[in-house]
Amino acid sequence: MSATELLQDRYGAVMMLTYGMPPVALASGTGCTVLDVDGNSYLDLIGGIAVSSLGHAHPAIIEAVSRQVATLAHTSNLFLHQRQVELAERLIGLLGTDGRVFLANSGTEANEAALKLVRKAAGPGRPVIVAAEHSFHGRTMGALSLTGKSSIREPFQPFGVEVRFVPYGDAAALAAAVGMDCAAVFLEPALGEGGVVPAPAGYLKAARTACDEAGALLVLDEIQSGIGRTGEWFAHQREGIVPDVLTLAKGLGGGLPIGACIGLGRYGSVLEKGDHGSTFGGNPVACAAALAVLDTIERDGLLAHVSTVGAQLAAGIEGISHPLVAGVRGSGLWLAIALTGVAATAVAATAQRHGFLVNAVQPNAVRIAPPLILSAAEADDFIAALPAILDAASVVLAGQETS
Ligand SMILES: Cc1ncc(COP(=O)(O)O)c(C=O)c1O
């Protein structure tokens, strides 16, 4: 039995199998490379689902986290500390407007804070939240109620939130759905878990207008798209709009758990003393990691790097003529290889056998969301390997058809 199989056996005996059985047991990582417990090496093109923005064992994160944990690891929110203030100042500065930050530990918690914020801002006369079909906002009950994937939402109904779902990207449907009964619209700038599906140009602007006309808040969930993933600090900045509330997590902590709910302008002051809280939220170690991420993105010019290497990767994939590939979606280092059929699981499995970790985000789409430090040479390695990966996946799929 391999070390992976032994660990999988133990995992299967004691872990709730909410993730099924993961195919790889990771042991360590450096840069964009990870090693499994059997010593196999992989180029990590999924980065812990768009989280490990500086890759693995980045010196800036090691230094910041080590220093912080050796100084003060935890305070609770009975006391404040320097790192949380610095982080909030940095985030507000990057947005270029005034606002206030609530720090949480994850994406779903950031959205829970946003839900409470909009509920309080709108009052009882506006019970409805508008959200998109195929969206993903998290797994806790509030965020799950907004999540547009019925297979993961419906088993847990009913929720205490009245949600009106609209087809993603259809500005007219959105405008029709946002009425005087709406507290807020929750949107991702591109569907992440939905398969890296960017909004059509002008969609976020149309959402802003619909919210303004109805007096509803616009909440942008940039938990996956934010912190440089698309080559901008925040994906919505390309659209030239300003949300009322912004939620962040994932890449912000570079691997340490942190989330943020940012109320912009007057929406920064809606939640008041006693309205919300978290024992760990804004933990000094997680904040130190997030500051190291922001500093490194800035210092190393990673936004421009993401745009350049992302474009190279997208062009390289697009240039591969293969019957399984329908095209490429996304921007920066946040791409989906759109497939011509239900082949994503086979492609991800064969990629793994060829030494590349990617994610079957949808049955017909493979997601690539590597560390923002992915080099041009590493991108080229994947492009060079992809035809053989796709051929091997085709063989697997043909075998499944005949068996
Ligand atoms: C857009 C979006 N919102 C919210 C979440 C939930 O984040 P977490 O898993 O940290 O709770 C995710 C996670 O994939 C996400 O992609």
Rounded-to-integer distance, Cα 385 and Cα 376, Å: 14
pLDDT on residue 299: 98
Shared domain for 213 and 223, answered yes or no, is yes
- Give distance in angstroms: CA of 221 to centre of ligand 1: 9
pLDDT on residue 401: 81
Q: How many residues does the chain have?
A: 403
pLDDT on residue 157: 96
> How many domains would you assign to the chain?
2
| pLDDT classification of 315: cutoffs 50, 70, 90 | very high
223 lines ligand 1 (CB under 6 A): yes
Any idea what the CATH number is for the domain that residue 131 is in? 3.40.640.10
| pLDDT classification of 402: cutoffs 50, 70, 90 | confident
In 3D space, the residue among 286, 182, 199, 295 whose CA is nearest the CA of residue 238 turns out to be 199
pLDDT on residue 111: 98
- What's the mean per-residue pLDDT of the chain? 97
Any idea what the CATH number is for the domain that residue 7 is in? 3.90.1150.10
Residue from 137, 147, 149 to probe ligand 1 pocket by mutation (most atoms less than 8 Å from CB): 137
Residue 316 has pLDDT above 90, yes or no: yes
Distance of CA 224 to the CA centre of its chain: 2
pLDDT on residue 345: 98
Angle at 246 between CA 245 and CA 249, to 5 degrees: 145
Closest residue by Cα to atom 9, ligand 1, is: 107
Boundary-marking domain end, from 237, 264, 299:
299
Shared domain for 186 and 306, answered yes or no, is no
106 lines ligand 1 (CB under 6 A): yes
Rounded-to-integer distance, Cα 357 and Cα 32, Å: 10
Rounded-to-integer distance, Cα 71 and Cα 224, Å: 31
Shared domain for 186 and 237, answered yes or no, is yes
pLDDT on residue 95: 97
H or E, element range at 197: strand 197-198
Tens of pLDDT, residue by residue over 1-10, are 999 999 999 9
Query: Exposed/middle/buried for 401, CB within 10 Å: 0-12, 13-18, 19+?
Result: exposed
Rounded-to-integer distance, Cα 143 and Cα 34, Å: 31
Shared domain for 251 and 378, answered yes or no, is no
Q: What would you report as the CA-atom Rg of the chain, rounded to the nearest whole angstrom? A: 21
105 lines ligand 1 (CB under 6 A): no
Shared domain for 33 and 79, answered yes or no, is no
Shared domain for 130 and 237, answered yes or no, is yes
Shared domain for 236 and 253, answered yes or no, is yes
- Give distance in angstroms: CA of 136 to centre of ligand 1: 7
Rounded-to-integer distance, Cα 286 and Cα 278, Å: 14
Other CB atoms closer than 10 Å to residue 200's CB: what's the count?
Answer: 12
142 lines ligand 1 (CB under 6 A): no
Rounded-to-integer distance, Cα 141 and Cα 120, Å: 18
Closest residue by Cα to atom 4, ligand 1, is: 137
Query: Exposed/middle/buried for 10, CB within 10 Å: 0-12, 13-18, 19+?
Result: exposed
| pLDDT classification of 400: cutoffs 50, 70, 90 | confident
Shared domain for 21 and 84, answered yes or no, is no
Q: Which residue has the higher pLDDT, 309 or 400?
A: 309
Query: Exposed/middle/buried for 79, CB within 10 Å: 0-12, 13-18, 19+?
Result: exposed
Question: Given phi > 0 = left and psi -120 to 50 = alpha, else beta, which region is 240?
Answer: left
253 lines ligand 1 (CB under 6 A): no
Domain that holds residue 365: 3-57+301-402
Residue from 136, 168, 188, 196 to probe ligand 1 pocket by mutation (most atoms less than 8 Å from CB): 136
Shared domain for 355 and 384, answered yes or no, is yes
- Give distance in angstroms: CA of 245 to centre of ligand 1: 16
Distance of CA 48 to the CA centre of its chain: 10
Residue 201 has pLDDT above 90, yes or no: yes
Residue 288 has pLDDT above 90, yes or no: yes
pLDDT on residue 59: 98
Rounded-to-integer distance, Cα 206 and Cα 208, Å: 5
pLDDT on residue 354: 98
- The DSSP result for 295-357, as a single string, is HHHHHTTHHHHHHHHHHHHHHHHHT---TTEEEEEEETTEEEEEESSS-HHHHHHHHHHTTEE
Boundary-marking domain end, from 262, 281, 299:
299
Rounded-to-integer distance, Cα 113 and Cα 196, Å: 25
Percent of the chain's residues with pLDDT above 70: 100
Shared domain for 96 and 134, answered yes or no, is yes
Residue 403 has pLDDT above 80, yes or no: no
Angle at 106 between CA 247 and CA 58, to 5 degrees: 100
Shared domain for 320 and 263, answered yes or no, is no
- Give distance in angstroms: CA of 17 to centre of ligand 1: 19
224 lines ligand 1 (CB under 6 A): yes
137 lines ligand 1 (CB under 6 A): yes
107 lines ligand 1 (CB under 6 A): yes
Residue 98 has pLDDT above 90, yes or no: yes
Contact 370, 45 (CB under 8 A): yes
249 lines ligand 1 (CB under 6 A): yes
Boundary-marking domain end, from 299, 324, 352:
299
Instruction: Name residues whose C-beta falls within 8 Å of residue 45's C-beta, 6 or more positions apart in sequence.
Output: 32, 351, 356, 357, 358, 368, 369, 370, 374, 382
Shared domain for 29 and 113, answered yes or no, is no
Residue 325 has pLDDT above 80, yes or no: yes
Closest residue by Cα to atom 3, ligand 1, is: 137
Percent of the chain's residues with pLDDT above 90: 98
